[in-house]
Amino acid sequence: MIFPLGLFQRERPNKFLASASPFIAVFLTLLLGGLVFAVVGKDPLYSLYVFCVEPLLTLRGWGELGVKMTPLILCALGLVVCYRANIWNIGAEGQLIIGALCGGVVALKAGPEASQLYMIWVILAAMAGGALYAGIVAWLKDKCNANEILVSLMLVYIAELFLSWAVQSPLRDPQGLGFPQSPMFETAATLPMMIPGTRLHWGVALVVVSLFFIWLIMSKMFIGFQVRVSGMAPKAAIYAGFSNRAMIYFALLLSGALAGLAGVIEVCGPIGQLTPKISPGYGFAAIIVAFVARLKPLGTIPAAFVMALFYLGGELAQSRLGTPAALTGVFQGLLLFCIMACDSLIFYRVRWLGFGSKKEAA
């Protein structure tokens, strides 16, 4: 039986609604989130206040917001480049983990006498690790025509298991009472705090540099033009002589390097050591950030703000309201659903085809 509804592309989508779509999606997410709170027996208005407003009432809350925005923005920036090139990297989480592991190994080599400049080597090792791990995806796509979605996703689980093995065997702290964790990093291999009384660190400066770098590439440089053309019109890119292989390696290696940078900032910033769980899913959440940002580098800032607020709100609601930890994932999923629904209705119109109709959406 043919589904009775069809989607037909609009010739002239409303420009105002297209621009306002992310804001509409956030509003709908909060509305649906209020319904979720009501279903589980909580006061929707008070619950949303705890979830969305209370984390922003203290300096410490803003500091935590910056800590969580940092890896989200870095991962999302790399995904923006990939998705603009029509390369679907879903494995930023795995690249983040491997980057953190590579940077963490170098950080553990730092002695008490090392200077703060040692962090340069830690950062370079992390970015190289993330890039090489993403390079596996690029190589398999180039040589074997493997689907980058499946390959990058499966590599996430390999990275998680490898990290778990590393902190339980070769990198385990001999004085850690048997806990699966590495020794604490020396001061030279950690990021200094930016604001006293908070956990906000100078990794934020690396985010600013990365934002400018990706904006420069995508807006002002020829390689960014190649990325956009390869994603929007692959045949035109081939006709113009742009190398598809070069785009695959460029986008994935850059994305992996930024994800690796996000990972090492996390372990050298708020964590200070390697543990089996160094990310609550930043690499996956960055996918939503990239789409809410409309695949624009500067758009990742407000999008990451919303996603980081969901993380903080979920933690606060768990302690204040007794809600499950999965609430953060519920809000993230609702946001993704709402942005996709809004875009579908803005750029396409729904038409009733009738049951049994053989018409197909144009």
Spatial distance between the Cα atoms of 190 and 185, rounded to a whole number of angstroms: 7
Spatial distance between the Cα atoms of 187 and 143, rounded to a whole number of angstroms: 43
pLDDT of res. 131 = 96
Q: What is the helix (H) or strand (E) element at residue 298, kind and residue range?
A: none
Q: Decide if pLDDT at 176 tops 90.
A: no
Check residue 112 and give left, alpha or beta (phi > 0: left; psi -120 to 50: alpha).
Answer: alpha
Mean pLDDT of 69-94: 95
Instruction: Return the amino acid letter for 215.
Output: W
Hey, CA dihedral for 178, 283, 31, 55, is it positive or negative?
positive
Check residue 3 and give left, alpha or beta (phi > 0: left; psi -120 to 50: alpha).
Answer: beta
pLDDT of res. 361 = 44
pLDDT of res. 345 = 85
Is residue 212 a contact partner of residue 297, using CB atoms and an 8 Å limit? no
Spatial distance between the Cα atoms of 123 and 103, rounded to a whole number of angstroms: 6
93-107, 172-186, 209-223: which has the minimum mean pLDDT?
A: 172-186
Q: Where are the domains of the chain?
A: 1-42+330-362, 71-294
Q: Decide if pLDDT at 138 tops 60.
A: yes
Query: pTM of the full predicted structure?
Result: 0.90
pLDDT band at 237 (very low <50, low <70, confident <90, very high): confident
pLDDT of res. 263 = 95
DSSP character for 6? E
Q: Is 177 exposed, middle or buried (0-12, 13-18, 19+ CB in 10 A)?
A: exposed
- Give Cα separations from 135 to 85, 209, 255, 314, 350 (angstroms): 16, 23, 10, 34, 41
pLDDT band at 196 (very low <50, low <70, confident <90, very high): confident
